[in-house]
Amino acid sequence: MATEADRRKKRTYIDRLHKLASRRVPILAWLPKYNSEKFLSDIIAGITVGLTVMPQGLAYATLAGLEPQYGLYSAFMGAIVYVLFGSCKDITIGPTALMALMTHDYVQGKNADFAILLAFLSGCLQLLMACLRLEMRKVRLTQGTQAMSKMKDVKLHVISKKSVNYQRIIAKAIWLISTARNAIVVVTCSVIAYKYDSSESGSPFILTGPVRSGLPPFSLPPFSTQVNNQTLTFTQMCSELGTSIILVPIIAVLGNVAIAKAFMNEGKVDASQELLTLGICNVLGSCASSMPVTGSFSRSAVNHASGVKTPMGGLYTGILILLALRLLTPYFYFIPKASLSAVIICAVIYMIEYEVVKLMWKSSKKDLIPMFVTFLFCLIIGVEYGILSGVAINLVFLLYPSARPTVHVDKYTTDCGAEYLLVTPGNSLYFPAVDFIKKSVGNAGIKQGSSQIPVVVDCRYILGADFTAAKGMKTLINEFSSRKQGLYFYNPRSDVVTVLKGACGDEFQYVSTQEELSYLLSTVQDKSSQQLLEQTHDKLHASLTLNNSEMIHRNARGSCHELSEVTSTLLHATAS
């Protein structure tokens, strides 16, 4: 029996270990099912994405202020690593326009070591976030939705099986041209530039220039560097990078998870796994001279439209980039920088959703404020500060209702004829709102309740309370008690009752149903009426007692006066 129990425990342990390995290294789950059909689909998609990422990598490296080959270094390492750890078949990891812009702000005037160290530190922070399970659960999918719409537009070129063969060929050719348009434009412009450069007049274009051939050196990221004949230590390099160490990885995670949610039609996105994968891509990429990378919307849409079946397509993309580094770098010299700029524009132009302004204006005008503030600050100050400004303004909009909730005051009468004020706060009882709610309830009791009518606080929207709010409610209860005005709480949650009861004690009075409220108010009204009657009776009795004493005093004074007159008359007669 003991042996059988041990076997079951061992089998259970092995199953759990296998599930954990399959979840954290997804290639173990789908690789045994890999077949020739998936291979053909993946290699077509991988080559298509490779033709897209090569000009984009050169362009994004130039945009980041680096030499062009660094864009290719970043592209192949991210694509290959994602094959092992990626959970979404459509995502392609590599350089993007946003990462290039943010890198440029901290690499400008320095060397490439700062970009490589930034990639390493970003990966370390992302791995830390993955270990702490700090995944971004709520991500706005605006750009992901736009990428999906682009993908659907590309799929419209596919012709049904009933079409004629030549129509299918034409459709496939159009689809291939539209998908590889970046590579076609770059090759065409490079040929034109080469022809001009070979002539006596020289090339009228600004060319990319020499691109280093071969693979990058594989080593640890630089923890020190030389700038202007001065050696900067790791601490000094981190000081130069500043806030980008925090902002770059967070923005990269947001973009990557948004793409995963946009393309994951079946199943649930494992945000922790995506965070882990992105961190590994950046850490290992920094060992191959990579700049910070994340998922690309445009390339992921191309990958999906190309019919990719598994993440193995990234391996073929990486192999194609390695071949380009080995064989095609001499020809990259003649690529005009204007064509690379066009590649960047084409990659991001579809992400501009100008039509959303009209929708926001119709639905919620205040949402336009963080939108335009982010846009202007990104143009004037910088991308990271623009994003932070938009986030800060949005946080203000989110916190303001918590500090200034809506408070509705209505006057009601129970079936027994008891009047009361019903005050309904629109938010929970937390410290930002306690002063405002306390002031609103107090003013309602004084002005609308004439300091007499009982006040009932409707707790239907109060989902929680803290100790600071409970102390504020205790002060409010004492104020109502001092002027002998009732304050009651209607239908509070059990956790709210626990917090308020702990701070206020027995002075906190609450009811859970309308019948209890009616009975309480009628009882309070009867007590008030009885007390009023007793007070009136006491006043009347005191008034009668006072009148009797005055009459007795007046009669006594009259008798004494008469007696003194008689006495004086007798004395006068005796003297005579």
CA distance 454 to 420: 5
Q: Name the more confident of 122 and 533.
A: 122
Nearest to 119 by CA among 99, 92, 133: 99
CA distance 551 to 394: 79
Cα–Cα separations (whole angstroms), residue 297 to 98, 132, 274, 320: 11, 27, 15, 20
Instruction: Count the alpha carbons within 13 Å of 576 in the hemisphere toward its beta carbon.
Output: 6
pLDDT of residue 387: 82
Burial label for 516, CB within 10 Å (0-12, 13-18, 19+), is middle
pLDDT of residue 138: 42
Run of H or E residues at 421 = strand 419-425
CA distance 68 to 118: 18
Is pLDDT at 140 greater than 50 in this prediction? Answer: no
**Residue where the block lists tokens 């659907």:** 152
Is pLDDT at 464 greater than 60 in this prediction? Answer: yes
pTM over 0.85: no
In the three-class reduction of DSSP (H, G, I as helix; E, B as strand; rest coil), residue 231 is classed as: strand
Burial string for 217-252 (b: 16+ CB within 10 Å, else e) reads: eeeebbeebeeeeeebeeeebbebbeebbebbbbbb
In the three-class reduction of DSSP (H, G, I as helix; E, B as strand; rest coil), residue 559 is classed as: helix
In the three-class reduction of DSSP (H, G, I as helix; E, B as strand; rest coil), residue 15 is classed as: helix
Run of H or E residues at 490 = strand 487-490
Contact 402, 435 (CB under 8 A): no
Q: How far is CA 209 from the centre of its chain?
A: 42
Instruction: Count the alpha carbons within 13 Å of 153 in the hemisphere toward its beta carbon.
Output: 12
CA distance 422 to 455: 6
Residue 507: both structure tokens together: 């002075």
CA distance 35 to 70: 34
Contact 260, 274 (CB under 8 A): yes
Q: What is the pLDDT of residues 220-268, one digit of tens each?
A: 999 999 888 888 899 999 998 888 899 899 888 888 887 887 777 655 6
CA distance 111 to 114: 6
Residue 160: both structure tokens together: 């049904």
- pLDDT confidence band for 486 (50 / 70 / 90): confident
pLDDT of residue 534: 52
CA distance 507 to 518: 19
Residue 78: both structure tokens together: 């991210």
Nearest to 503 by CA among 434, 432, 570: 434
CA distance 185 to 346: 11
Residue 350: both structure tokens together: 């579809």
Q: What is the pLDDT of residues 326-339, one digit of tens each?
A: 998 888 888 898 88
CA distance 293 to 118: 10
Burial label for 358, CB within 10 Å (0-12, 13-18, 19+), is exposed
Q: What is the pLDDT of residues 408-424, one digit of tens each?
A: 999 888 877 888 899 99
Nearest to 189 by CA among 20, 24, 336: 336
Cα–Cα separations (whole angstroms), residue 403 to 251, 426, 428, 435: 29, 11, 10, 9
- pLDDT confidence band for 527 (50 / 70 / 90): low
Burial label for 468, CB within 10 Å (0-12, 13-18, 19+), is middle
In one letter, which amino acid is 220?
A: L
Dihedral (C-alpha) 24, 36, 268, 151: value to the nearest 10 degrees? Answer: 130
Burial string for 370-390 (b: 16+ CB within 10 Å, else e) reads: beebbeebbeeebbbbbbbbb
pLDDT of residue 301: 85
**Residue where the block lists tokens 């609308």:** 448
pLDDT of residue 141: 39
pLDDT of residue 134: 58
CA distance 493 to 293: 47
Q: What is the pLDDT of residues 58-94, one digit of tens each?
A: 999 999 989 999 999 999 989 999 999 988 888 899 9
